[in-house]
């Protein structure tokens, strides 16, 4: 017999009130409401699985119900029988006990307001005009309803994520930098990235399948890359030429949650990639961790102020003496290293949380560029990139990033650091002529045919059908700049792109953890 703690509490309450018969009827009513909702969830997931079946692939995501206590199997039947006997209910109706193994049955996560659809979150990012955008979300999809890991497996205590109040979700509060406040401790562990990697004890995501080959033979440019980073890189190689990851930059400086929430309300799914910016540090790392834990992929850039100036968007468009930036002992060099230390500290926070990141610093590089790092010669930029690479990897031990070299819409070989210093390279554009075939071909002529090419920033969402027609411009990902999903794109076109069999949304990303 399986009876959940929430059922027992309901029965107790009515027993104390002198109405024991109402206890079981109340449990039955609550259970029926949840079953109805879970049925809708399963129908939605079945549509997604059918979409993948048409491609000859299959994805399977297991629920991440964030419970502050262990599943119902951990309540010994003898204890339940004894308690019910004391209450005078020794023979409870069988209709109210247990789940069906497909999500039917009461779950503590349900009472916390977490359902089978992704739930939006968070602040932080910019626009080209420029400033970032974003948000994060917890995903609870396809539970086996028993609180076990894999179907039929032993019970697993889940990572907790219960909001401490009814006003704001854990993800919102994590995005506002509340994780270290005393009233949050013990509540929002998943959103705050405090969950251990192991599924033993209080692990995360038991039973999630990985539907790609993690041993792809592709070596990251950092030989010390973490397992998660290798998984992410292999996944990008595995889909290159056949699928495209959807992405959205968050409006970090204003209302990050709105950008991602737009997709849930418009297309019923979240982008696979959440773009953030270290120029806006408040909550950016927390939201990136939360998005990864929800099944997504964070991509981080950094509008670094020109050394020795402080960080601001205006200062990123200023000028700096690049020779001094690269010379030990100068004020510019000292400032540059301090900025790299800040970035390293944030990336290492993610590394400690077992998060892999698409790292795209010094973006929109081109001759006579808009930003200080692209206002010198190509050789100066290459030296700047390599200095950053060596400092972050060798000196600071940042091993959780896939290195993405972000060209502007005019890729130039003179500014290419070389394949030993990057994993990916791609351009960006705010033009309308998608799928941007000429720009894709120009980039490929510089980086070669093997490296996946991302459209790391765009004002226009490309049409996947046109991208993959005769291999015209098979971008491995596209990332829409903050706010441009509304100001620069037609809703019907967005819905068509997200409905395409080529487009990968967050719920379709395999387990990279």
DSSP characters over 374-406 = GSS-HHHHHHHHHHHHHIIIIIS---SEEEEEE
Q: In 3-state terms, what secondary structure has residue 507? A: helix
113 contact partners, CB below 8 Å, separation of at least 6: 119, 163, 169
174, 349 Cβ separation under 8 angstroms: no
**Nearest to 245, CA basis, from 507, 505, 61, 461:** 505
> In this structure, what token pair is assigned to residue 356?
């892999």
pLDDT (0 to 100) of residue 132: 34
Distance set, CA 432 to CA 84, 150, 320 (Å): 67, 46, 33
505 strand-pairing partners = 271
- Asked whether the beta carbons of 112 and 36 are under 8 A apart, the reply is no
Report d(CA 211, CA 6) in Å as an integer: 35
Q: What's the rounded Cα separation, in Å, for the pair 162 and 507? A: 21
Write down the pLDDT at residue 73. Answer: 41
The one-character DSSP state at 117 is S
Edge-to-edge order in the sheet of strand 455-458: 424-426, 401-406, 357-359, 297-301, 273-277, 247-249, 478-480, 455-458, 428-429
- On the CB side of 282, CA atoms within 13 Å amount to 11
User: Rounded to an integer, what is the distance from CA 370 to the centroid of its chain?
Assistant: 29
User: What burial class does residue 81 get, using C-beta atoms within 10 Å of its C-beta: 0-12 exposed, 13-18 middle, 19+ buried?
Assistant: middle
| CA neighbor of 449 nearest in space, from 462, 440, 436 | 440
- Give the pLDDT score at 458: 93
Task: In whole angstroms, give the CA distance from residue 49 to residue 134.
Answer: 27
User: What is the three-class DSSP state of 478?
Assistant: strand
Across 238-369, where does the E strand assignment appear?
A: 244-245, 247-249, 273-277, 297-301, 357-359
**First and final CA of the chain: distance in angstroms?**
34
Query: Which residue ranges in the chain fall short of pLDDT 50?
Result: 1-3, 6, 13-14, 19-31, 33-78, 80-81, 84-158, 197-210
The CATH class that applies to domain 227-508 reads alpha beta
Task: Name the nearest CA neighbour of 444 among 240, 293, 299.
Answer: 240
Question: Per the structure block, which two tokens stand in for 449?
Answer: 């045919």
Q: Strand pairing partners for 425?
A: 405
Q: Which residues contact 327 (CB under 8 A, 6 or more apart)?
A: 333
Strands (E), 168-296: 244-245, 247-249, 273-277
Query: How far is it, in rounded angstroms, from Cα 470 to Cα 435?
Result: 12
Report the C-alpha gap between 262 and 458 in whole angstroms.
Answer: 17
Confidence (pLDDT) at 375: 96
Residue 119 β-bridge partners: 138
């Amino acid at each position: 017999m399986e009876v959940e703690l929430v059922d027992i509490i309901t029965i107790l309450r009515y027993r104390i009130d002198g109405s024991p018969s109402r206890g079981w009827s109340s449990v039955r009513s609550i259970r029926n409401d949840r079953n109805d909702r879970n049925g809708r969830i399963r129908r939605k997931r079945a549509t997604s699985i059918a979409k993948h079946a048409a491609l000859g692939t299959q994805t399977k995501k297991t629920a991440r119900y964030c419970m502050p206590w262990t599943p119902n199997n951990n309540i010994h039947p003898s204890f339940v029988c004894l308690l019910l006997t004391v209450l005078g209910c020794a023979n409870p109706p069988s209709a109210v006990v247990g789940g069906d193994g497909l999500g039917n049955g009461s779950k503590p996560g349900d009472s916390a307001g977490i359902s089978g659809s992704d739930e939006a979150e968070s602040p932080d990012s910019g626009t080209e005009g420029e400033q970032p955008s974003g948000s994060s979300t917890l995903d609870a999809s396809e539970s086996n309803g028993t609180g076990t890991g894999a179907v039929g497996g032993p019970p697993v205590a889940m990572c907790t994520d219960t909001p401490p109040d009814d006003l704001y979700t854990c993800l919102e509060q994590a995005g506002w930098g509340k994780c270290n406040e005393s009233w949050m401790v013990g509540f929002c562990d998943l959103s705050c990235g405090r969950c251990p990697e192991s599924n033993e004890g209080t692990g995360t995501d038991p039973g999630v399948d990985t539907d790609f080959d993690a041993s792809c033979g592709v070596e990251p440019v950092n030989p010390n890359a973490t397992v998660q980073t290798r998984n992410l890189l292999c996944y990008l190689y595995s889909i290159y030429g056949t699928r495209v990851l959807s992405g959205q930059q968050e409006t970090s400086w204003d209302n990050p949650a709105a950008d991602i929430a737009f997709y849930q309300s418009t297309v019923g799914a979240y982008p696979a990639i959440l773009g953030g910016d270290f120029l806006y540090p408040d909550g950016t790392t927390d939201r990136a961790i939360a998005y990864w834990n929800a099944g997504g992929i964070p991509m981080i850039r950094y509008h670094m102020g020109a050394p020795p100036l402080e960080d601001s968007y205006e200062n990123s468009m200023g000028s700096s003496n690049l020779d001094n930036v690269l010379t030990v002992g100068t004020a510019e060099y000292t400032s540059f290293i301090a900025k790299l230390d800040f970035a390293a500290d944030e990336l290492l926070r993610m590394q400690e949380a077992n998060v892999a990141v698409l790292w795209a610093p010094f973006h929109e590089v081109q001759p006579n560029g808009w930003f200080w790092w692209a206002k010198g010669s190509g050789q100066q930029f290459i030296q700047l990139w390599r200095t950053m690479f060596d400092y972050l990897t060798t000196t600071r031990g940042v091993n959780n990033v896939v290195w993405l070299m972000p060209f502007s819409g005019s890729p130039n070989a003179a500014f290419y650091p070389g394949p030993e210093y990057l994993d990916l390279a791609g351009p960006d554009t705010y033009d309308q002529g998608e799928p941007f075939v000429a720009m894709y071909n120009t980039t490929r002529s510089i980086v070669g045919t093997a490296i996946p090419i991302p459209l790391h920033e765009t004002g226009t969402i490309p049409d996947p059908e046109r991208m993959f027609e005769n291999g015209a411009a098979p971008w491995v990902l596209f990332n829409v700049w903050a706010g441009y999903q509304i100001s620069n794109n037609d809703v019907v076109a967005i819905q068509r792109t997200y409905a395409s069999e080529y487009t990968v949304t967050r719920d379709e990303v395999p387990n990279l953890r």
